């Protein structure tokens, strides 16, 4: 878990730097798979959603991130476990972005 957290790109951690990041559909899907899986671990249930909150608050990336999670959830090739962790991670991130106050000024 520590290795994943330390390797998570710094530009993904802040709204301002996220504006400069472009994800392909495949890159976003891969990132959502990684985040969903790590968030299902006991050490990741709080750390990973906190790490991912700026990405889900970003107007630019919120839609593609949730779309990637939904595609994973409904893709029969994903397998039952991956579908479940993607569904749970999506629910957690919806909860967080709706209830947490912004970490910086107006949401971007």
pLDDT per position as a tens digit, 18-67 = 999 999 999 999 999 999 999 999 999 999 999 999 999 999 999 999 99
Residue 14, in any domain of the structure? no
Residue 53, in any domain of the structure? yes
**pLDDT of the residue at 105:** 54
Residue 2, in any domain of the structure? no
pLDDT-derived band at 15 (thresholds 50, 70, 90) equals: confident
**Counting beta carbons within 10 angstroms of the beta carbon of residue 96, is it exposed (0 to 12), middle (13 to 18) or buried (19 or more)?**
middle
Domain count, the chain: 1
Residue 59: domain span: 23-99
Residue 68, in any domain of the structure? yes
Residue 108, in any domain of the structure? no
Residue 39, in any domain of the structure? yes
pLDDT-derived band at 4 (thresholds 50, 70, 90) equals: confident
pLDDT-derived band at 101 (thresholds 50, 70, 90) equals: low
Q: Mean pLDDT, the chain, as a whole number?
A: 91
**Gap between the Cα atoms of 48 and 30, Å rounded:** 15
Our measurement of the distance from residue 103's CA atom to the centroid of its chain's CA atoms, rounded to an integer in Å, reads 16
CB 1, CB 41: distance < 8 Å: yes
């Amino acid at each position: 878990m520590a290795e994943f957290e330390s390797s998570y790109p710094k530009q993904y951690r802040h709204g301002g730097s996220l504006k400069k990041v472009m994800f392909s559909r495949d890159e976003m899907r891969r990132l959502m798979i990684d985040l969903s899986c790590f968030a299902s671990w006991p050490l990741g249930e709080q750390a990973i959603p906190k790490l991912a909150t700026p990405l889900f608050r970003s107007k630019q990336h919120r839609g593609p991130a949730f779309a990637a999670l939904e595609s994973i959830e409904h893709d029969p090739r994903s397998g039952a476990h991956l579908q479940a962790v993607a569904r749970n991670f999506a629910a957690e991130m919806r909860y967080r972005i709706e209830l947490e106050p912004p970490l910086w000024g107006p949401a971007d």
